[in-house]
Amino acid sequence: MTTRSFGKLSDGRTARLFSLTSASGFQAEISDFGGTVVRLFAPDRTGRLADVVLGFDSVERYPAESPYFGAIIGRVGNRIAGGKFSLGAKTYSLVTNNAPDGIPCHLHGGNVGFDKVLWSAEPATIAGQTALRLRYTSADGEEGYPGELSAEVTYSLTPEQGLRIDYKATTDQSTPVNLTNHSYFNLAGAGQGDVLDHEITLRASRFTPVHPGLIPTGDRAPVAGTPFDFTSSHRIGARIGAAHEQLRLGAGYDHNWVLDSTDGQLALAATAYEPVSGRVLEVLTTEPGIQFYTGNFLTGSLTGKLGATYAHRGGLCLETQHFPDSVNQPSFPSTLLHPGQTYRSTTVYKFSSA
């Protein structure tokens, strides 16, 4: 593992960039700012490496401009309705930093979520592989959340050209926790147009439809017969413009799919394929859900790494997670972590070619 400067934050602190490289040349570059995956080099069917995640060349642009490119998301990923939830007799008010359809909600941990903090970093070893271990302590009351939360995220490369992410957290008060990574993938290469020709498979026969404001209704609707059916491979662009109310509300795909695997073991959740390069991305997770997002709010105005312009729908996200707004939805798997418990979650982004 090598380390170099990634620039300075507005308060003068230096962010660092850590490079993990496998014997095959598969490489991940990760910053201690936000635990951000900045670059990820994967081979195409001829063995040519390309950076397949969106991002910026230095840390200075991330705090104000990044739409969560590559970052660790917490304390709770995705949306919480109205920025409010109750534990026992007490109601907690969180920052409301997002308002789809003019309806305020709490998104991705608030104004200063885990994506915008400097984590402590140290080298580690997992299954004989060099790894990067990141730690952050979220204070009681931070962004409105109860309890001091100690979070740990470890990145490692697997022998099968995978980037493995292991999440761990403990708390001194009951609090919701739902950690994820928000990498935007373009398997043709970052900045190489949109992702509409990517083909997606999701191992999910149901999804959680949303109200205006993108808060789940509480239902788990079957995908069969709808544009949300990715149980077999479909090109993203084939149905994203369909006259479907859920696609209108999300401005495309921006929904949680209920994974068929329910036992909490590491299992295949999603596959993405880019036909020109032949690159294949498989997502394995212990989580019960996955947010498939098609970069609908990328406008084409952002210039990223090496001066590349990131097009509308220039990246796709496959965010492994518990369901959105679970803290307010009793029928969803619980996101509450209590003192004495340890939150654990694992996701692997595995690359190959076809």
* Strand residue runs (E) in 26-161: 27-31, 37-43, 49-51, 72-73, 79-81, 84-87, 90-93, 105-107, 120-126, 129-138, 149-158
Position 218, amino acid: G
338 is catalytic: no
Question: Among the options 142, 143, 152, 182, which is catalytic?
Answer: 182
Dihedral of CA 203/230/256/148: which sign?
positive
How many whole angstroms separate alpha carbon 245 and alpha carbon 227? 11
Query: Which position among 143, 152, 319, 322 bears the catalytic label?
Result: 319
Q: Is the distance from CB of 256 to CB of 319 less than 8 angstroms?
A: no
Q: For this structure, is 148 an active site residue?
A: no
CA-to-CA distance for 150 and 137, rounded, in angstroms?
A: 5
Q: Where are the alpha helices (DSSP H) in the chain?
A: 62-65, 245-250
Query: Nearest to residue 22, comparing CAs of 125, 155, 129, 153?
Result: 129
Residue numbers annotated as active site:
182, 319
